[in-house]
Structure 1
Amino acid sequence: MADNDRSSFLSRRTFLTSAAALGGAAVSGAAFGQVAMDDVINAPRRGNWDDQFDAKASRTAAAITTRNPIFGPGASANIQQAIYDYESIVANGGWPKVETSVKLKIGMSDPAIAQLRKRLMISGDLAQSAGISNEYDSLVEEGVKRFQARHGLPLDGVIGKYTLDAVNVPADTRLMQLRTNLERVNAITTDLGQRYVMVNIPAAYIEAVEDNRVAQRHTAIVGRISRPTPILDSKIYNVTLNPYWTAPRSIVEKDIMPLMRKNPKYLADNKIRLFDNKGQEVDPSTIDWNGEAPKLMFRQDPGPINAMASTKINFHNEHATYMHDTPSQGLFNKLSRFESSGCVRCQNVRDLTTWILRDTAGWDRARIEATIKTGVNTPIQVANEIPIYFKYVTAWSAKDRIVQFRDDIYQMDGAQELALQTGLNQEPAVANN
């Protein structure tokens, strides 16, 4: 912890599991403590439609981007600073609730926008010089985009349902969330390594970190609530190009069996073949699909419809979990990316593969691409195994005091209002592990 004298502020709940992703609000505890809301309310009024965009006054969403990893050397101290700042916000009454039954967007005039302005000012997303008015001008739009960037929401600058839900999470609940995640970060005592991969599950995103700087970031698809992605520490030992996909027993029982009852051609259509424990192929027509799932291997051939598409990244773990490519690239554009059966799908996985295999002789980007084109199953042992961490961190801060929050998708933070997107999760297609 950054300051032992402040330890009494920490919520010492039993930590459900060890933890760790990207995002935040530049807030100053001292500033919020000194500026009364009367000063904010009486600030110069703004809101005429001919307002000139003030990039300095409105901190832009682009400012959220940082190369600081979530688990950098100052991770604990950065969250502790955010806790101090949010303690000041809470001590000064928190922020107002924005009450509206309609979407708020640029060009509108509505009393709820005055509430929104106050809310964004207090969290540091809107400069106080923007003033309080009922007008949704360009400054408010940019402040909303900045807020959305800190909360992992689409940057449309509109107060719709999910942005409104996030805006209306009380300040004391966010403070609790920060304290919970400080405990999670402090529980990480492992030497992460000079190069490592980190998957932050609630953020549904991946960092490739080198020398305490983020070398690559990737959007991810992680496990849905009913089949969560496990928290783990491991090492990447193998990359397989044009992989076979072997269906886990859970998918065979929950998905494939019912699908075969409905469509006896399902396995053939999806190029999934059955093998016994001697490696002999079994004819699907000999199986009673209305009975129990057969104790056979269900293996999908490499190819464009393979559940892992071009690439599988293997690491040691007891959960049969791995990272992989996907033929369903459109899923990366979704707001709620909790769609898998526990494994992690990685957008632009070939960039990550190139980074992982950098020290493996002969495997540059050109050879990787050429091998994928052949369609031949090609396992590659990683020359120097790379540490990989699957963590669960819903709130964090960088050294620039930009605080980021994510939905508590697995409901581990202890407050129902933090699990904002859980209603978006639906059962995915069977071949998407």
Structure 2
Amino acid sequence: MFATEIRYTRCQRTAWCLGIWLALAGPAMAQSDAPGAPQGDQALEEQLAEASSRLRNLYAVRGDRPIWRDAEIVDALVESLKTLDADGLSPSDYRPDELRAASRAALREGADDDVRARFELQASRTLLAALTHLQRGKVDPQRINDDWDLTIEPPSLDLAAISRELDEGDVPAAIDLARPPYEPYEQLREGLAHYREIERQGGWPALMNVEDPLRPGDTGTEVAALRERLAAIGNDQLWAADEGYYPAIELQAPEPEVYDEALVEAVRRFQRHHLLADDGVVGPRTLKALNMSVDQRIDQIRANMERARWLLHGLPESFVLVDIAGYDLRYFRPNGDTWRARIVVGQPYRRTPSLRSEITHLTINPTWTVPPTIMREDVLPKVRRDLGYLATKNLSVLSPSGKELDPESIDWSNPGGVMLRQKAGPSNPLGQLVVRFPNDHMVYLHDTPSRGLFSRSQRALSSGCIRVEDVLELAQLLFDDTGTSFDVRRLIADGKTRNVLLEHHVPVVLHYWTVQPEPDGELSFRPDIYDRDDALIEALDRPVTL
């Protein structure tokens, strides 16, 4: 109370008490408003008037006070920019050494005000570019992926918090505020550091392309090379000890050239983490994955860190995530549980797109109208060879208005706008249920009569839509979680084709990951089924204009 009383009496009459008031108000207030604190200058204000809105917004939260007015904070910026390789970005994009050189001229005693102001904005422009790339990604996905239909929200940088960290001289903390605050992203960062350490240690040996697969019980130098390859990524129990170092001690170490049980289990683990059949046999597919170099794996991790920056923002607590390259669907439920299922996705020439939408309704006992691409490329050639194909597949011929037509009356060399539709039933390609969400690609989640396909390790087998194992269970969870009072199995049992609207829409995201952190701490590397990694890595390595 005494301090407050001073503030409102004596401080109204004396400049001396104004200093006490500032001290009592705290260091932040004193720093920004005290006599002698750095203030905006005319040259900076004039150049800010012509600067980008992002720069003006940063300085607006600071009252146009400059940031980069001593060598120490510039050095902190330079060193922080150089650490962005830990996020898979290229520090050279931000030209840290050029920035340091420019600071010498701008910060020297007697430097021209315009030179200082130009450097001030150059440094801030560089920082904002790095923060934006770190939060939302450097590459525009639409420029390299025709199937991309995901909105990337504008950066949501907390400029006030960033400004406070800069006033404290803590540039690394300011940069950390832009980093995606999600565990998968941090796991990818840790994985990148791990594989770069492997690279520093010399990588791993390439295995010989042996004519016959390596099998449990085999012996030879190829087995020793396989052991060394798997030990390099963290299977420490596979290292064979050198008895020459400890001649008097009986060592419990594996025979390096013997394909023993420990090596079998390490191969199976590797296969599971690369979406391969985990049979413990090193056949052609496993050999190809083993012979990917450490440099290639590092680039693959970098590409997926960029994909994470595209996606990991604005996500609701509850949503359906379709992992295309991982053949995996996860439903993050409102109660915190996660439901998971295997899926079948589009073949490489009929790719499942990346998109974000909302599940609006379910179709029970669906009919199937043959999509234009499948009609043109798959069905019409078969119909032209044998008109009986229509009856075999229970396909009806319909006019554009929906009127059923006689197949014999159609010129199948030029059928015009006719449609082919398959009635609901056990052989219908959509199975018993479809989960629908608006999108321009006409894809959806659905059941399938071909359930044996889910047992395959690699499942890029559909025409673009996503087949979901146990989709009836997913449908019931969607009903329950949205307050939609229906029993899925009863609806199916009555045989009627109907649409059921969800009481509340459920967000759905279809995304493409070729690297995924696993619960055991290792990274799972998936085949790049749509050949998207190379274009992304090339774009990541392309210099930018700041």
Alignment deviations for residues 298-336 of structure 1 (CA, whole Å, 9 cap, x no partner): 221100010101111100101111111111112222233
Q: CA deviation at 1:11?
A: 5.1
| Number of the residue aligned with 2:532 | 412
2:279 paired with 1:156: yes
2:533 counterpart SS class: coil
Structural RMSD (CA)? 2.5
2:7 paired with 1:7: no
Alignment deviations for residues 382-416 of structure 1 (CA, whole Å, 9 cap, x no partner): 1221111111110132575321110011111118x
Alignment deviations for residues 176-226 of structure 1 (CA, whole Å, 9 cap, x no partner): 100011011011254221211111111122111236966222111111111
2:511 paired with 1:391: yes
| Number of the residue aligned with 2:332 | 209
1:106 counterpart SS class: coil
Q: What is the alpha-carbon distance in structure 1 between the residues aligned to residue 378 and residue 435 of structure 2?
A: 24
Q: Output aligned runs, 1:15-414, within 5 Å.
A: 15=141, 16-17=144-145, 73-99=182-208, 100-125=210-235, 127-128=237-238, 131=254, 133-210=256-333, 215-291=338-414, 293-361=415-483, 363=485, 367-398=487-518, 401-414=521-534
| Residues 11, 176 of structure 1: 8 Å contact kept | no
| Residues 247, 297 of structure 1: 8 Å contact kept | yes
| Residues 323, 344 of structure 1: 8 Å contact kept | yes
Question: CA 1:214–1:115 in structure 2 vs 1: closer, same or farther (change >3 Å)?
Answer: farther
Q: Percent identity?
A: 32
| Residues 149, 353 of structure 2: 8 Å contact kept | no
1:187 counterpart SS class: helix
Q: What is the alpha-carbon distance in structure 2 between the residues aligned to residue 396 and residue 359 of structure 1?
A: 28
Q: What is the alpha-carbon distance in structure 2 between the residues aligned to residue 337 and residue 153 of structure 1?
A: 11
| Residues 19, 184 of structure 1: 8 Å contact kept | no
Q: CA deviation at 1:376?
A: 1.6
Q: CA deviation at 1:154?
A: 1.3
Q: What is the alpha-carbon distance in structure 1 between the residues aligned to residue 518 and residue 292 of structure 2?
A: 21
Question: What amino acid maps onto 2:202 in structure 1?
Answer: G
Question: CA 1:246–1:87 in structure 2 vs 1: closer, same or farther (change >3 Å)?
Answer: same
Alignment deviations for residues 246-295 of structure 1 (CA, whole Å, 9 cap, x no partner): 1111111111211111110222221221222332212211111122x421
| Residues 344, 453 of structure 2: 8 Å contact kept | yes
Question: What amino acid maps onto 1:200 in structure 2?
Answer: D
Question: CA 1:144–1:363 in structure 2 vs 1: closer, same or farther (change >3 Å)?
Answer: farther
Question: CA 1:399–1:370 in structure 2 vs 1: closer, same or farther (change >3 Å)?
Answer: closer
Question: CA 1:76–1:172 in structure 2 vs 1: closer, same or farther (change >3 Å)?
Answer: same
Task: Return the structure number with greater relative CO, CA threshold 8 A, min gap 6.
Answer: 1
| Residues 303, 533 of structure 2: 8 Å contact kept | yes
Question: CA 1:215–1:246 in structure 2 vs 1: closer, same or farther (change >3 Å)?
Answer: same
| Residues 219, 332 of structure 1: 8 Å contact kept | yes
Q: Whose strand fraction is larger, Structure 1's or Structure 2's?
A: 1
Q: What is the alpha-carbon distance in structure 2 between the residues aligned to residue 295 and residue 7 of structure 1?
A: 55
Question: What amino acid maps onto 1:322 in structure 2?
Answer: Y
Question: CA 1:182–1:117 in structure 2 vs 1: closer, same or farther (change >3 Å)?
Answer: same
Question: What amino acid maps onto 1:173 in structure 2?
Answer: Q
| Residues 103, 160 of structure 1: 8 Å contact kept | yes
Q: What is the alpha-carbon distance in structure 2 between the residues aligned to residue 72 and residue 271 of structure 1?
A: 52
Question: What amino acid maps onto 1:350 in structure 2?
Answer: L
**Which consecutive residues of structure 2, in runs of 5 or more, have no partner in the other structure?**
1-79, 91-137, 151-179, 240-252, 536-546
Q: What is the alpha-carbon distance in structure 2 between the residues aligned to residue 324 and residue 248 of structure 1?
A: 15
Question: What amino acid maps onto 1:80 in structure 2?
Answer: R
| Number of the residue aligned with 2:77 | none
Question: What amino acid maps onto 2:449 in structure 1?
Answer: P
Q: CA deviation at 1:341?
A: 1.2
| TM-score with structure 2 setting the length | 0.62
| Number of the residue aligned with 1:422 | none
Q: CA deviation at 1:111?
A: 1.3
Q: What is the alpha-carbon distance in structure 2 between the residues aligned to residue 342 and residue 190 of structure 1?
A: 26
2:224 counterpart SS class: helix
| Residues 367, 421 of structure 2: 8 Å contact kept | yes
> Which stretch shows the higher mean deviation, 9-18 or 380-389?
9-18
| Residues 514, 525 of structure 2: 8 Å contact kept | yes
Q: Which has the larger radius of gyration?
A: 2
| TM-score with structure 1 setting the length | 0.78
Question: CA 1:400–1:92 in structure 2 vs 1: closer, same or farther (change >3 Å)?
Answer: same
Q: What is the alpha-carbon distance in structure 1 between the residues aligned to residue 459 and residue 416 of structure 2?
A: 32
| Residues 149, 155 of structure 1: 8 Å contact kept | yes
| Residues 106, 137 of structure 1: 8 Å contact kept | yes
1:380 counterpart SS class: strand
2:443 counterpart SS class: coil
